Amino acid sequence: MTTTASASSTLPTQDATAIKTVGKKTLDRSDFMTLFITQMQHQDPLAPMDSTQMASQLAQFSNMEATMKMSDNLEKLLGYQVSQNNLQLLTLIGKEVQGTGNSMGVTAGQVSTTQYNLADAADSCNVQIYDAAGNMVDTVDLGYVPSGVHTLSWDAKTPSGTVVPDGQYTYKVTAMNALGQQVAVDYRSTGTVTGVKFDGTTAQVTVDNSVTMNVADILTVK
């Protein structure tokens, strides 16, 4: 009895991540000029490029050059404008600002001023307070709260009576009206600017040494 063994072969595979890009991904002004000069050098002497076509290509190159220069100048102007705006933010240090958000700072047991606005009167109103890690540290049962702007009153203590560490805290107000419907809540944070920092293209201020607020969220400056 004869057995036939079939040999199978596999083609070598190439890792896609090992393939390297040759050259540049984008063309700049020097590349376009090189292409134009190369085209001139390799044209047929017996049938040279039409003068009208050459003038058209030169005009396109000139327009491209002007557009690139304009783009470069705009980028420089934008960078200068951003730096000037950042310098102006230094004038906010020491001033009281109010911005959107439900953050508040705690320093030595003292809570920064923060307000919430109820769109309707609430028969029941409960506040949950969280630390920077998202852990709930306390709850406050406010009972009935009329509509309008209210300042949050919190003693910066846990239910066991321990003063919470300094830092940034957030809170959530859950309010229900007489019909059992949830009442819309709008938040405001107030404090003194103690620092300015820049995170890429986003400018931020530090309020009361602990609360980070985006400059775009600032509503009023006193």
* pLDDT, tens digit (0-9, with 9 covering 90-100), for 153-167: 999 999 999 999 999
pTM of the model: 0.58
Residue 39 lies in a domain: no
Residue 3 lies in a domain: no
The pLDDT score that the predictor gives to residue 170 is 94
pLDDT at 60 over 80: no
Predicted local distance difference test score (pLDDT) of residue 8: 45
Calculate mean pLDDT across residues 179-208.
86
Full residue range of the structural domain in which residue 172 is found: 92-221
Note whether residue 84 is domain-resident: no
The pLDDT-based confidence of 7 (bands split at 50, 70, 90) is: very low
Q: Does the residue 199 lie in any domain?
A: yes
Is residue 208 assigned to a domain? yes
pLDDT in tens, 34-48: 776 777 677 666 666
- Does the pLDDT value for residue 137 go beyond 90? yes
Q: Examine residue 177 and state whether it is found in any structural domain, yes or no.
A: yes
CATH, residue 98: 2.60.40.4070
Residue 29 has a pLDDT of 62
With bands split at pLDDT 50, 70 and 90, how would you rate the model's confidence at 17?
low
Residues in CB range of 125: below 8 A, 6 or more apart: 118, 141, 142, 143, 144, 145, 173, 174, 175, 176
In a domain, 152, yes or no: yes
pLDDT at 12 over 70: no
Specify the pLDDT at position 211.
Answer: 86
> What is the number of domains present in the chain?
1
145 in any annotated domain? yes
